[in-house]
Structures are given as structure tokens and as C-alpha cells.
Amino acid sequence: MKDLENKVFYIMGVANKKSVAYFIAKALIENGAKVILSGQTKDHCDKIQKLLPESFNFVCDVEKQEDLINLKDNISQYTDKLDGLVHSIAFANFDPGQKDFLDTSLANFQQAIQISCLSLTQVCNELRDIFNLNSSIVTISISNTKATSYGYMGPIKAMLENSVCYIAKAFSEFSNIRVNSIGAGPLKTSASAGIPNYIENYLYAEKLTLRKKNLGTSEVANTALFLLSDLSSGINAQNIVVDAGMSVNYFDQEIVKNL
Ligand code: NAD
């Protein structure tokens, strides 16, 4: 993708080499872009350094106000302008003591909102002056926020997708900065391992895809590259579903016949 060459992107959310953010960073580098990464902890940053030695990285834990305030200073050690942002972070404390959705605690819900949703708005606000006027911002949601299998992360991802529209509107007042989300189907990453019954749901999801093969993380990364590039210049304030057709296949006859 010629268009990405020498552009500079800030990427949040590499924890290991299975992370969606890692696949996106790697693909951007392969396409000639430069990446700045932040990890939640020093350990994450050490891992990033080993995985992507050509990248600049620093710690940003979005639960810490000072880390958000220091964002621009940290980034300015590498560049004074960004061409885009990838927000690929989420966390929910799935408490084994929680009986069902109705039993969601305020503390857990608030923490999950801060990390998985509000942080996008806060980071966009902190970096508003250093985005080039044609920048592209991408966050990662889930393929169906109403699937009722993600615990309280479902409503929070719905909020994230909605925030995308409000952030896009705010940026449109002074720029052509675009903001979109990717609604990704189930993937094999460390975040998904924490979701109750995830393995069973993952195997079932594979049967629901039209091609009978689950999504690869690189397919989500490729969509992110498209959204970060000028090829998607007409797309703004949208959620792009990447689920290998799963959402249209409720009544797959192979599954129905095996009941
Ligand atoms: P991952 O565990 O590799 O990435 C999650 C990242 O969130 C980690 O890097 C973690 O350090 C970061 N994070 C958590 N709390 C943080 C904090 N306080 N401050 C800063 N960073 C913090 O898992 P992943 O699957 O790559 O997740 C990336 C995104 O993709 C998430 O938004 C997730 O909801 C989304 N997603 C994942 C799947 C899936 O099946 N794995 C499907 C759809 C969407």
C-alpha cells in the first residue's frame, strides 16, 4: 500500500504476538509506515521491543490520568505529527462470583468503560493538535454487540461504536480526520481467553461462518490498514463488520441437522 509509506501511526494494545494490535503494527511496518506503540506496563513494552525492535514505545495505562496527560510528550520524543491512531484495548474483570448479567457490579462496569470505551475519547482529545488533518483513527469492536455472549462487554462495545460517531463529528469541525471501528468476529487472543465459555463459542462460531473457517487476526489487520489508508477516504463514523459472514448464518443447515 504505497499510500501508507512514511506515515506515522500510534498503536495502543500490543500485549503479545497474538494481539490484534501486533498484527496491525506488523502489517503497517511491512507497508512502509512507521509505528509508535504503547503498552499497558513496562513488561508489555519490553515484549514490544523484542517483537518490533524498529518501533518506538512507551508505557500508557489508560486507568492512570497522568499517563493520558503525558501522551503527547511521550509521542513528541519521536514525532510532532501523527497520521492516525489504532485503539485496540479492552478489559473486563469477569468475576467468577458474578451470577449473570443482572449481577454486574458498578466497579467492574466502570473500570471496563474507562479502559474499553472512554479511553478512545480521552486519547483523541489529548492528541487532537498533533493529528494531521487527514488522519484516520480506528478502534476494535466486536462483530455483534447484541449477541448477549460477551457479558457486560457487549453494552460497552455498543457505547464504543457510538462514541466513534461523536468523535468523528467533533473532529469534522476542524479537519478531515476520520474515525471508524472494526466489528471483529471471534479471534484467538489473550483477551478472548478471559471471556466465559469462549473456547466453546469460538468453535461454534467457526461452524457459523459461511466459509466454515474462523477469522484470522491478519484479516482484521488488513481491514485496519484499509481504514487507515486513503483508499477508505469516503468511510467515516462507521462500524465495519469483519466476521466471515457469521451474522447471516443463524440457521446454517449443517448445524440445524445435527441438533
Ligand atoms: P489482547 O489481550 O492482545 O489486547 C488487549 C490489550 O488491551 C492488551 O494489550 C492490554 O494490555 C490492553 N489493556 C488492557 N487494560 C489496559 C489499560 N488499563 N491501559 C492500556 N492498555 C490496556 O487481545 P486482543 O484480542 O488483541 O484485543 C484487542 C481488541 O480487539 C480489544 O478491544 C478486543 O475487545 C477486540 N476484539 C477482540 C476479539 C477477540 O476475539 N479476541 C474479537 C473482537 C474484538
pLDDT tens by residue, 25-36: 999 999 999 999
Helix (H, G, I), strand (E, B) or coil at 141: strand
CA-closest candidate to residue 7, choices 27, 16, 19: 27
- Give me the long-range contacts of 52-60 (CB less than 8 A, separation at least 24): 52/14, 52/22, 52/25, 52/26, 54/29, 55/25, 55/29, 60/12
- Burial group, residue 119, by CB count within 10 angstroms (0-12, 13-18, 19+): buried
pLDDT band at 193 (very low <50, low <70, confident <90, very high): confident
pLDDT band at 192 (very low <50, low <70, confident <90, very high): confident
Q: What is the pLDDT of residue 177?
A: 98
d(CA 124, CA 85): 8
Average pLDDT over residues 156-183: 98
Q: What are phi and psi of 180, to 5 degrees?
A: -140, 160
**Please, how many CA atoms are within 13 Å of residue 112, restricted to the half-sphere of its CB?**
23
Residue for cell digits 451474522? 247
Q: What is the pLDDT of residue 189?
A: 87
* Cβ atoms of residues 137 and 93 within 8 Å: no
d(CA 155, CA 161): 10
14: pLDDT strictly greater than 80: yes
Q: Which domains does the chain have, with CATH numbers?
A: 2-257 (3.40.50.720)
d(CA 12, CA 9): 10
Residue 21 alpha carbon to ligand 1 centre in Å:
8
Residue nearest atom 44 in ligand 1 by C-alpha distance: 142
Average pLDDT of every residue of the chain: 96
* Cβ atoms of residues 163 and 121 within 8 Å: yes
pTM higher than the cut 0.95: yes
pLDDT tens by residue, 219-239: 999 999 999 999 999 999 999
- Burial group, residue 190, by CB count within 10 angstroms (0-12, 13-18, 19+): exposed
pLDDT tens by residue, 74-133: 999 999 999 999 999 999 998 888 899 999 999 999 999 999 999 999 999 999 999 999
Q: Is the CB of 63 under 6 A from ligand 1?
A: yes
CA-closest candidate to residue 94, choices 86, 85, 103: 103
Residue 89 alpha carbon to ligand 1 centre in Å:
4
Residue 191 alpha carbon to ligand 1 centre in Å:
5
Q: What are phi and psi of 172, to 5 degrees?
A: -65, -15
pLDDT tens by residue, 36-66: 999 999 999 999 999 999 899 999 999 999 9
Residue 69 alpha carbon to ligand 1 centre in Å:
21
Q: How far is CA 121 from CA 5, 134, 164, 241, in A?
A: 27, 18, 8, 21
pLDDT band at 140 (very low <50, low <70, confident <90, very high): very high
Q: Please count the other Cβ atoms lying within 10 Å of the Cβ belonging to residue 66.
A: 7
Q: Is the CB of 62 under 6 A from ligand 1?
A: yes
pLDDT tens by residue, 64-78: 999 999 999 999 999
Q: What is the pLDDT of residue 1?
A: 81
Residue for cell digits 511491512? 30
Q: Is the CB of 105 under 6 A from ligand 1?
A: no
Residue nearest atom 15 in ligand 1 by C-alpha distance: 91
Give the largest Cα separation in the chain, rounded: 60
